[in-house]
Chain A
Amino acid sequence: MLGSIAKLLELYPDAKVVVEPSADPDDYNFLIQDQWVTIKKDHLSTKEKFLLSLVSQDNNNKSINNNWWNFLVHESDKIPSEKSNVRILQFEVQKLESDDRAKEWLNVFVDTFDDVVDSFWINKYTGILIEKETKTNMDKLEVQRMIQLIDSDFYTKSRVYVGQFWPINEKLPNIFDMERQLFHKSLEMKDNVNNLSTVILDFLIEQNLKNTDMFKSLKKKIDIDSKTTQMINALYKCDSNLTKTAKELFLHRNTLLYRMEKFHEQTGFDLKDRDDLVLCFLLLK
């Protein structure tokens, strides 16, 4: 394994071997041979990160003896007997003080849900909660509030990916493969609680476009300053409604129009055109 670290450092000269995971949000951490390795996120694709998480020691989950886990990671064909649909919440919790604290944390987290089928840690930092579909399941915002509450008591930094509800059948492990990748992508996002809707665009762009020369040059062209970024994001958020967008940005409508025209002149993209706006929004992702 030590050889692996050396190889890794050769491939990624910016990578560092550290005692504790880096708290810098720009860094990606993983554990090999009880040593934390830190790499700048920019230098890794989602696929690479996912792969690293699978092979790194801390995420080597062979020791987990749980029927649900074995089913989800294709280790067992035995389909759990649960009748209702379930969703899988994947969570990462940083800054837990001890194993006992981790147990307490999970107990409190579980207690906030109505109908939990199973919950467990898959390594020191990440875990899974499987919840039945009922009429009272928490939505993303409610989960976010709960996480904020729990983090404020435990002084932890937690992130959750809230999966969709799925029937339990042989397709679920494949779906879970995808949800795991989405969870890994969600770890880079600003909000600490995410779901398919909040992650999918970033995920697809990274998979297909981000590193292409075309995308990079276009991005460079439109990424002028923070005001422009805010304008594009606000226009997208407000469905191109100029009055709403101006209000959101606290600008006069005419000032917004002036800035949009200036942007059009500078870049050739007309933000009043729906297709141009969506493209610019995606380029800034």
Chain B
Amino acid sequence: MVEIDLNHIYKRYANAEEDNYAVSDFDLHIKDKEFIVFVGPSGCGKSTTLRMIAGLEDITKGELLINGKYENDTAPKDRDIAMVFQNYALYPHMTVFDNMAFGLKLRKYDKDTIKTKVDHAAKILGLSEYLDRKPAALSGGQRQRVALGRAIVRDAPIFLMDEPLSNLDAKLRVTMRAEIAKLHQELNTTTIYVTHDQTEAMTMADRIVVMSMGEVQQIGTPKEVYETPKNKFVAGFIGSPSMNFFDVHYKDGMVTDNGGLNLKVPEGRSKILDDAGYNDKDVTLGVRPEDIHAEGAMEETFPEATVESKVVVSELLGATSMLYSKVDDTEFVAIVDARDYHEPGATVRLTFDLNKAHFFDEKTTDAIE
């Protein structure tokens, strides 16, 4: 059983100014066997945080506890942690077996133990018949599996993965995503996975930590961060295609912008805005593409949240289609049923389901709740 506590962790690099932190006040309790994903754009501090847990970076401030034990100063080799890196490499002159066995050999494991561990990992990863091959004779996916195998043989209760799939092509990434999820179920290791890909985060995580500019923006299950984003950053980062944002003025239950948008906010939502003191104020309106509808039934329900828009670009994706549309100067994207596909240039009536809309403070960008 392994539990990890990151208590108000900070990281400042050697040459940085006094208050210029690469990671600020990172605070998280990770439960046993949990699959945690750190997600955010490049440079947001997610890999740095992971490397602090591995002991590859010093912690400037705060404490790291593993099973309640203070580990800030423990050498990486004495932390019971296995790590898979973003830019995975293998020793070109060694066979698959030797690549997987090398770390154990250095740690003076006896030959039989090494063979048992490597064979076991190879079996889990479907690499048994490739053990004699050199890396050059393997496909990208197989090489990635060897990199995973190198971590598995360590039998560590904590797995750290730093963008392990970012060098694979899109198709292989989907396959490996499923394999890693399966691996997690089989090995039951507490796993921290770093990615900039929100789809990976949404599909793999028990809980997601969304980061930006060194700060944690939100921690929650995939459903929580998708449905109730705490601020505009999380709302825009999680979800594909991204949430549409509109700079609007809210007054007496209506939102308007300068570009031609004029929508009625349902009572329940307008009450929240009124109670929070936003009447007659500028706010940011966020609407997910799937909450903009082309069906007539929706227009009947929300006649005052329907706009006549012009399709600028349209993509038919099979079951659904994406309509990149415009109302005067306001642009947005809607995901509608494939039956509601329209060619560019067409005029289409689209209804905004503002019951599912999000409102953000224009200045702080925090969600108005």
List A residues at the B interface (Cβ < 8 Å): 23-26, 41, 95, 104, 108, 111-112, 141-142, 144-146, 148-149, 152-155, 157, 188, 190, 223, 225-227, 229-230, 234, 248-250, 252
Contact = CB atoms under 8 A, between A and B. Distances in A.
Contacts of B109: none
Contact of A230 (B43, B87, B103): B43
Given A154-B106, A230-B213, 19 more contacts: A23-B58, A25-B13, A25-B14, A95-B75, A112-B91, A112-B92, A145-B85, A145-B88, A145-B89, A149-B90, A152-B85, A152-B150, A155-B76, A155-B77, A225-B19, A225-B20, A227-B213, A248-B43, A249-B213
Interface string B55-80: 01010000000000000000111000
Contact of A148 (B89, B92, B214): B89
A188 B14 CA distance: 8
14 contacts: A23-B58, A25-B13, A111-B93, A112-B93, A145-B88, A145-B89, A149-B85, A152-B83, A155-B75, A190-B13, A225-B19, A226-B21, A226-B214, A248-B41
A153 B103 contact: yes
A190 B43 CA distance: 13
Given A145-B88, A226-B213, A227-B213, A249 B93 contact: no
Interface size class of B (residues with CB under 8 A): 35 or more
Contacts of A153: 102-103, 106
Nearest to B233: A250
B236 A250 contact: yes
Interface string B12-40: 01110101110000000000000000000
Nearest to A250: B41
Nearest to A284: B17
A149 B58 contact: no
B87 A145 contact: yes
B144 interface: no
A104 B91 CA distance: 14
Contacts of A154: 106
B155 to A, nearest CB: 16
A126 to B, nearest CB: 19
B41 A146 contact: no
A154 B214 CA distance: 30
A227 to B, nearest CB: 6
B314 interface: no
